[in-house]
Amino acid sequence: MDGKKCSVWMFLPLVFTLFTSAGLWIVYFIAVEDNKIIPLNVPDRKPGSKSPPYISIAGDAPPASCVFSQVMNMAAFLALVVAVLRFIQLKPKVLNPWLNVSGLIALCLASFGMTLLGNFQLSSDEEIHNVGTSLTFGFGTLACWIQAALTLKINLKNEGRKAGIPRVVLSASITLCVVLYFILMVQGIHMHAARIQWGLVMCFLCYFGTFAVEFRHYRFEIICSEYQENFLSFSESPSEASEYQTDQV
C-alpha cells in the first residue's frame, strides 16, 4: 500500500472509540441533570444522598437508560466487527493460531457482556447485569493482554513496538483499574470506585482506538461468488488462490 495513503478501515476503531465515549458521557450528563447521581467532581458522598456516579447507575432509569442501551448495543456490534477483522488480519501471520483464536473468543465474550449491560439495567435484573459486567471487564482485560502480545510478536509492517508498547501500558492500566475497582467496591468507597470505573472504561476505549495503526495498512473485502464444488479452476494453483484470500473477509 502507498505509504502516503491510508485505508478507510482505520476509521472503524476510531469511530468506535469516539462514538462510545461520547455516548457514555451523554448518559452521565443526563443522569446528573435528572439528579439521579452525584457528579464525579464532588469531593465525597454523604450518607443518604443521591447515588454514586457508576456508569450502570447513570444508565439505570429513563431517559438515560434508553441512550445507554443504544450506545452499548452499537458498541458491542462495532467491537465484534473489529474483533473479527483483527482475527482475519493476523490469521496469515501467526504460526500457532491458538493465541489469535483466544483473542477473538475473548473479544466476542466481552462484546456479549456489553449487550447484557445495555439491555438488563441494574434495577431490572441485577444478576444478569453483573454477569455482563464480569464478562466485559474480565474477558476485555484478557483480550487486551492477548492483543498486546500478538502485536509485539507479529510486528506487522515493522510497527510492533509503535503499537505494542502503548497497548502494554494500557493493558497494565486496565488491570490495575479492575483490581482497584473491586477492592474499593468491597470496602464501600463508592465515589472513588466510580471514578476508577470511568477511567477503566476510557482506557478500554482508547485501547480499541489503537487498532487504527494496523488497520490503516489493510483493505478488507467481502467476496460473493457462485458456489462450486471445485473452487479452484484448472488454471489456478492453490498458492495463487491463497494470495487473493489473505486479507479478505
pLDDT in tens, 48-75: 567 899 999 999 999 999 999 999 999 9
**How far is residue 20's CA from residue 72's CA, in Å, rounded to a whole number?**
8
Residue 87 has pLDDT above 80, yes or no: yes
Split at pLDDT 50, 70, 90, the class of 243 is very low
User: What is the per-residue pLDDT across 138-177, written as a single tens digit (0 to 9) for each?
Assistant: 999 999 999 999 999 999 888 899 999 999 999 999 999 9
C-alpha cell at 153: 510478536
Helix (H, G, I), strand (E, B) or coil at 45: coil
Residue 22 has pLDDT above 70, yes or no: yes
Task: State pTM to two decimals.
Answer: 0.86
Contact 34, 64 (CB under 8 A): yes
DSSP 37: B
User: What is the per-residue pLDDT across 194-236, written as a single tens digit (0 to 9) for each?
Assistant: 999 999 999 999 999 999 999 998 888 888 878 766 544 433 3
C-alpha cell at 33: 441533570
Split at pLDDT 50, 70, 90, the class of 47 is low
Strand partners, 51: 37
**How far is residue 207's CA from residue 213's CA, in Å, rounded to a whole number?**
11
**How far is residue 13's CA from residue 210's CA, in Å, rounded to a whole number?**
7
DSSP 51: B
